[in-house]
Amino acid sequence: MADITMPKTAARISDEAAAAKRARMDLISAVVRYSLLFGVGFLMLYPLIWLVGASFKTNSEIFAGAGFLPESPTVEGYVQGWQTSTPYTFGRFFWNSFLIILPKVIGTAISCTMVAYAFARFEFPLKKILFGSVIAVLLLPNVVTRIPQYILFRDLGWLDSFLPLWVPSALAGDAFFVFMLVQFLRSLPTDMEEAARVDGANSLQTLIFIVVPMLGPALVSVCLFQFMWTMNDFLGPLIYISSVDKYPVSLALKLSIDTTEAFEWNRILAMSVLTITPALVVFFAAQRYFIEGISAGGRKG
Amino acid sequence: MAQVQLKNLEKVYNKTNKVVHGIDLDIKDGEFMVLVGPSGCAKSTTLRMVAGLEDITAGDVIIGGERVNDLSPSKRQIAMVFQNYALYPHMKVRGNLSFGLRIAGRPKAEIAAAVDKVAEILEIEPLLDRLPKQLSGGQAQRVALGRALIKNPGVFLFDEPLSNLDAKLRASMRVRITDLHRQLKAEGSSPTVIYVTHDQTEAMTMGDRICVMQAGHIMQVATPKELYNAPANLFVAGFIGTPEMNLVEGAMEGGEFIMGSQRLALGSDLAGRLSSQPGNAVLGIRPQQFSLVSEGPALQAKLVNAEFMGHEVYMHADCEGRRLVSVVGAAEFEARGQSDVIRLRPDPKTLHVFDKSDGRNVSLHGGSIAA
C-alpha cells in the first residue's frame, strides 16, 4: 500500500499546484479580457451615453466639458423641445411618423411574403430573369431611382402626401426583404405545404395557414428592419413632404435646428433622445425573435 | 373504394433525365400494394405522381376509373402519409387532424366528431392538445396517420412512413398499419393502399402484393410468397430475402451445374425443365436451403466465419473463390460445422437458375440459356 500511496501524494501535490496555477491564470485572463471588452464597449457607447446625459443639462453646461453627468439636472430641454417652434407639438410629429410607418410595415410584410413565396415555390416563365432583376435592384444605389420616382409621383399628383412613401413598399419594392424571405423559405422543407395541398388547401390558403406561421421569425425581422429604417429615413420625407403638419420626427428634428436663431442644443438633444427611444424599445422587445430565427422552422424526426 | 391503374407512366426531369420508364401497374380495390426497391429506384417519384405532387411527363394515372392526371391532389380521393410526418408545426394535434375538414368548410360538430373518432382508433386522445414538437416520433407518426385517416380516402399513400422510427417502434407500427387496413376492410370501406419502402421486411410482412422496382422499371409484381419462391430475375432474387440469396456464376452441362472443379446435380425435376444445351448461368441458392452433411453429394467449402444469432448460425464459407452464405440451426452447426472444410448440400427443389446475359430466371418456365 505504502509504496503506492507515496508517489500518489507527491503527484497530488504537484497536481494541486498546477491546478491552482491554472485557476490563477484563468482569473487573470478573464479580468484582462473583460476589462478590455468593457473599455472598448464603453468607448463605443459613450456618444449615446453623453447624448442622454447632455439632454438633462442646461444649454450653457453642454459645451463646458466632455463629462456626461449633468451638474444640475433639468428637464427644461424636454419641456421646451416638445413645444417646438411651430404651431404643433412634437407629439404631432410622432403621430406622423407612426402614420408613415404602420402602413409601410404592413404593406412590406404582405407584399414581400407573396413575392418571395412565388419565387421560392412556383415555376413560371421568365422566373430566372425576374429573380435576377430583383437581385439587380438590390445592388442598385437608391439615389439612381430618386429622380424618375419623383417625376412619376409628381405626375400622379402624390406630392406632399404619404403615398410615395407607402406605395413602393406595398408593391414589394424593397428587394432586400424579398431576397431575405426567399432565402428563408428555401431553407424550409416543402413537406408541410405538400401535406396541405393533399388536405385540399389552395396556394393562397397554404400560404396563409401554413407558410406564414412558419415564416414568423423571418417576418418579424422584416417588420423590425422596415420599422427602424423608416423611423430613421430622412431623405424620403424630405423630398416628398413639404407641409410642416405632415412632418415625421426625422424632419422635425432638423426643423428645430433651422428655425431657432440661437440653437437650443438641449432641446435638440432631448428630442433626439425621444426619437431614438421607440426604435430601441422595439428592438429590445423583439430581440428574441432574432435569436429564435431559423430553428423555429420544420420539425425534425 | 378505388382501383388504381398506372398506364405507361413516365417521368422525365429537366427534359433529359428519365427516371420512370413507362411503368404499368394495376392495383385492385382494397389491395395493400407495396412499392419496394433500393434508393433512387423512383418508387417515391411514382407515388408522388399518383398523389399529384409531381407532374406526369407521359402516361396516365387512373383512380376509380377516372383519369386524374390533371386533377389537384385534393380531388383524387387520396390521403398521404409523409416520411418525416409533415405535421403543421404551429398547430396542435387537433388542428393538424382537422385541417383538411376545416379547409373544406365542414360543420364544426362534424369535424369534432371525426377528430374524436380518429383519435380513439389511433389512441392519441391524450395528445390532442399538444404541439407536434411535444410528440415522440411514434406519436407524431400516429398523428400523421390520423390526418390521412380522417379524410376517409379511397387510396392511402404511404411514403416510407416508418423509416424515421427505431427498429422496435417500426415493428409495432407495421402491425398497427396492417391491422388498421384489415379493420377498415371489415367495416366495409376497403381502402386501397400504396406503400413505398426500401425495407424488404416491411414489404414482405405488409403487402398483399409487392411491386419490386429498379431504376425506374418494374422488376416483378407478385405476392410476397411468390416473390420469395419464384423470383422472376436476378435482381428480385438478390433483393428479397435475408441474408441475400447466394448467386453463383458457373456453367450448365447435362443437368449439372459446374463451378470450378465442383459439379452439382440439379435434380431430375429442374434439369428436365431446363434445356440440355450447355451455357453460362447463375445459380441461386437461398442460405436457408443448405443443409450441412457429412457425406454424399455436396459442395465443399472452407468455413471463413460463423455468426451466432441464437437459434441459428450464419456460416460464411469460401467455395472455389466464391463466398457462400448458409443459415443452419445452432444444433446442426454444433454437430457438423466445427471443421475447417464443410459440406453444404442445397435442396434441389428450391434451386434457381438464371440466364447470365439478361438475368431471367430460366428455371421457372423451362427456358433455355444463351450459350
The CATH number of whichever domain residue B284 belongs to comes to 2.40.50.100
Do B18 and B147 fall into the same domain?
yes
End residue of a domain, out of A20, A45, A77: A77
Residues A271, A149, single domain; the answer is: yes
Same domain assignment for residues B51 and B89: yes
Whether A299 and B140 lie within 8 Å, measured CB to CB: yes
Closest CA to B290 of B247, B345, B332: B345
**One domain for residues B283 and B178:** no
Residue B314 inside a domain? The answer is yes
CATH number at residue A200: 1.10.3720.10
Is position B237 within any domain?
A: no
Q: How many CB atoms lie within 10 A of CB B25?
A: 19
Grouping H, G, I as helix, E, B as strand and the rest as coil, residue B11 is strand
C-alpha cell read off for A248? 415625421
Q: Is A128 on the interface with B (CB under 8 A)?
A: no
- Rounded-to-integer distance, Cα B8 and Cα B61, Å: 9
Domain-ending residue, one of A40, A58, A77? A77
- Tell whether B36 and B154 lie within a shared domain: yes
Whether A205 and chain B come into contact, CB under 8 Å, resolves to: yes
B142 CB within 8 Å of a chain A CB: no
Residue A104, pLDDT > 90, answer: yes
Q: Classify strands B66-67 and B192-197 as parallel, antiparallel or unpaired.
A: unpaired
- Could you tell me if residue A152 is inside a domain? yes
Cell of B43: 418508387
- On the 0-12 / 13-18 / 19+ scale of CB atoms within 10 A, B370 is middle
The reply to whether B111 and B221 lie within a common domain is yes
Compute CA distances B357 → A90, A253, B251, B371, whole Å. 90, 87, 13, 10
Answer whether residue B370 is part of any domain. Answer: no
Facing residue for B74 by CB, picked from A197, A297, A299: A197
User: How high is the ipTM of this complex?
Assistant: 0.81
Q: Distance between CA B244 and CA B284 in Å, rounded? A: 10
Question: What is the pLDDT confidence band of residue A8, given thresholds at 50, 70 and 90?
Answer: low
pTM for this predicted structure: 0.78
Q: Is the pLDDT of residue B70 over 80?
A: yes
Determine the average pLDDT of the residues in B264-277: 70
Residues B253 and B353 in one domain: yes
**pLDDT of A261:** 55
Number of domains in chain A: 2
Last residue of a domain, one of B171, B200, B230: B230
In a domain, B236, yes or no: no
Do B39 and B179 belong together in one domain? yes
Neighboring chain A residues of B84 at a CB cutoff of 8 Å: 189, 191, 298-301
Are A146 and A283 contained in the same domain?
yes
- At residue B366 the predicted structure's pLDDT band, cuts being 50, 70 and 90, is low
Give the number of other Cβ atoms within 10 Å of residue A28's Cβ. 10
Domain boundary among B230, B252, B274: B230
Domain boundary among A40, A59, A77: A77
The range of the structural domain enclosing residue B138 comes to 4-230
**Residue A209 belongs to a domain:** yes
Coil/strand/helix, residue A41: helix
pLDDT in tens, A125-136: 999 999 999 888
CB-hemisphere CA count at 13 Å for B71?
Answer: 17
Contact B227, B51 (CB under 8 A): no
**Residue B291, H or E segment:** strand B290-293
Nearest by CB to A299, which of B79, B80, B132? B132
Closest CB to A197 among B73, B132, B151: B73
> Looking at A160-174, B68-82, B289-303, which range is the least confident one?
B289-303
Domain boundary among the residues B207, B230, B253 is at B230
What does the pLDDT look like over B36-66, one tens digit per residue? 998 888 889 999 999 999 888 898 999 888 8
In whole numbers, what is the pLDDT of chain B averaged over residues?
86
CA distance B138 to B161: 10
Domain-located, residue B308? yes
* Residue A154 domain flag: yes
Q: Give B80's strand partners.
A: B157
Rounded CA gap, A111 and A105, in Å? 10
Shared domain for A23 and A131, answered yes or no, is no
Residues B145 and B204 in one domain: yes
Q: What is the pLDDT of residues B81-134, one digit of tens each?
A: 998 888 998 899 999 999 989 988 889 999 999 999 889 888 888 888 889 888
Range of the domain at A249: 86-296
Task: With beta carbons under 8 A apart, name residues in chain A contacting B137.
Answer: 301
- Residue A102 and residue A62 share a domain: no
Residue B337 near residue B292, CB atoms below 8 Å: yes
Quote the DSSP letter at residue B345. Answer: E
Per-residue pLDDT for A294 more than 60? no
One domain for residues B15 and B72: yes
- C-alpha grid cell, residue B230: 419464384
Domain assignment of residue B15, yes or no: yes
For residue B230, which of B32, B362, B37, B33 has the smallest C-alpha distance? Answer: B362
A67 and A95 in a common domain: no
Q: Are residues B308 and B218 in the same domain?
A: no
Is B87 at the interface with chain A, CB within 8 A?
Answer: yes
**Residues B184-207, mean pLDDT to the nearest whole number:** 88
What SS3 state is found at B241?
coil
Q: What is the pLDDT of residue B209?
A: 92
- Is A301 a member of any domain? no
Which amino acid, residue B77?
Q
pLDDT one-digit tens code per residue, A38-76: 999 999 999 888 888 888 888 778 777 777 788 878 888
- Cross-chain CB nearest to B103 (options A189, A194, A200): A200
Pairing label, strands B66-67, B78-81: unpaired
Same domain, B226 and B81: yes
- A10: distance to nearest CA of chain B, Å? 51
Question: In whole angstroms, what separates CA A67 from the centre of its chain?
Answer: 29
Same-domain pairing of A52 and A90? no
CATH for B30: 3.40.50.300
A158 domain residue, yes or no? yes
Number of structural domains in chain B: 2
The reported pLDDT for the residue numbered A10 is 67
DSSP H helices in chain B? 43-51, 93-103, 108-122, 137-149, 167-186, 200-206, 224-229, 234-239, 268-273, 330-336, 362-365
Indicate whether A258 and A130 sit together in one domain. Answer: yes
A94 and A11 within one domain: no
- HSE toward the beta carbon, residue B62, CA cutoff 13 A: 16
Are A60 and A129 in a shared domain? no
Give, in order, the Cα–Cα distances in Å from A230 to each of A103, A152, A178: 11, 21, 17
Choice between A229 and A8, residue whose per-residue pLDDT is larger: A229
Q: A29: pLDDT confidence band, cut at 50, 70 and 90? A: very high
Biggest alpha carbon–alpha carbon distance for chain A: 101
User: Rounded to an integer, what distance in angstroms lies between the CA atom of residue A235 and that of residue A146?
Assistant: 10
Residues A106, A69: one domain?
no
Between residues 281 and 340 of chain B, which touch chain A (CB distance below 8 Å)? Answer: none
Report the DSSP pairing between strands B256-259 and B322-329.
unpaired
Helices B137-149 + B167-186 axis angle, to 10 = 20
**B13: number of Cβ within 10 Å:** 13
Same domain? For B268 and B292 the reply is yes
- Which of A124, A198, A208 is the best substitution to test chain B (most B C-beta atoms within 10 A)? A198
Residues A11 and A114 in one domain: no
Using pLDDT thresholds of 50, 70 and 90, give the confidence band for residue B34.
very high
Shared-domain flag, residues A60 and A207: no
Residue A123, CA distances (Å) to A188, A201, B74, B309 in order = 17, 19, 20, 53
